[in-house]
């Protein structure tokens, strides 16, 4: 039987499943040498519940099991207002930002499924990741995003910023 993958809005009732997915994603980060991203309890249950209540939290589901989570947030993203050592591909069009992507290590193609879903929603997507998150950088570039420069989070932490703009 072929696995059925869907991407759909997350529900508050799924918070424990989502937190399990994000915990597994943290383990992947740590084992690959990325020890400085998603620290201090981030992303917290409160952050995810906020995503969900705003309509920005989504799950990837394989044959009825939650296997991935992400937030897809409409612009503007305040931390993207200034970009250093580069520039956005377009700084006028509205966009969506993808945050908090996580999945289980044994589930493949989740990032690709998320991006396909996001590009059905908007032709202009931005994303950022930690300099040490080599796995995410690989996935971002593999999906055709362009490296645009460096942004800084509200707490001052540096992130590598990317954008992909589909011309219609």
Question: Are the C-beta atoms of residues 155 and 166 closer than 8 Å to each other?
Answer: no
Pairing of strands 124-129, 96-103: parallel
User: Residue 66's beta-bridge partner residues?
Assistant: 61
Cβ–Cβ < 8 Å for 87, 163: no
Task: With cut-offs at 50, 70 and 90, classify the pLDDT of residue 2.
Answer: low
Q: 96: exposed, middle or buried (C-beta count within 10 Å: 0-12, 13-18, 19+)?
A: buried
**What domains are there in the chain, each with its CATH number?**
5-165 (3.40.630.30)
Q: Which tens digits make up the pLDDT trace of 16-62?
A: 999 999 999 999 999 999 999 999 999 999 999 999 999 999 999 99
- Label residue 109 by pLDDT band (50, 70, 90): very high
Taking only the tens place, the pLDDT of each residue in 61-102 is 999 999 999 999 999 999 999 999 999 999 999 999 999 999
- Note the pTM of the prediction, 2 decimals: 0.94
Whole-angstrom distance, CA of residue 131 vs CA of residue 121 = 27
Mean pLDDT of all residues in 138-166: 97
Looking at residue 1, what is its pLDDT?
52
Residues 6 or more apart whose CB falls under 8 angstroms from that of 36 comprise 130, 132
Name every residue whose Cβ is closer than 8 Å to that of residue 147 and which is 6 or more positions away in sequence: 86, 141, 160, 161, 162
pLDDT at 145: 98
Fill in the DSSP letter of residue 128. Answer: E
Residues 118-145: tens digit of each pLDDT: 999 999 999 999 999 999 999 999 999 9
Predicted confidence (pLDDT) at residue 3 exceeds the cutoff of 80: no
pLDDT at 167: 79
Q: Can you give the three-state secondary structure of 55-116, one letter per residue? A: CCEEEEEECCEEEEEEEEEECCCHHHCCCECCCCCCCCCCCEEEEEEEECCCCCCHHHHHHH
Q: Which of 87, 99, 82 lies closest to 140 in space, CA to CA?
A: 99
When pLDDT is cut at 50, 70 and 90, the band that residue 146 belongs to is: very high
pLDDT of residue 54: 98
């Amino acid at each position: 039987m072929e696995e059925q993958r869907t991407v759909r809005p997350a529900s508050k009732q799924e918070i424990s499943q989502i937190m399990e997915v994000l915990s597994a994603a943290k383990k992947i980060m740590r084992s690959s040498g990325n020890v400085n991203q998603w620290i201090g309890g981030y992303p917290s249950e409160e952050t995810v519940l906020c995503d969900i209540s705003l309509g920005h939290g989504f799950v990837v589901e394989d044959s009825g099991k939650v296997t991935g989570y992400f937030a897809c947030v409409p612009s503007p993203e305040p931390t993207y207002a200034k970009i250093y050592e580069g520039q956005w591909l377009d700084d006028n069009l509205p966009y969506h930002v993808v945050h908090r992507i996580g999945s289980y290590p044994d589930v493949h193609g989740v990032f690709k499924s998320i991006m396909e879903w996001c590009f059905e929603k908007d032709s202009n997507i931005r994303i950022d990741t930690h300099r040490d998150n080599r796995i995410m950088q690989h996935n971002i570039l593999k999906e055709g995003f362009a490296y645009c420069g460096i942004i800084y989070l509200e707490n001052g932490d540096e992130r590598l910023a990317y954008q992909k703009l589909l011309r219609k």
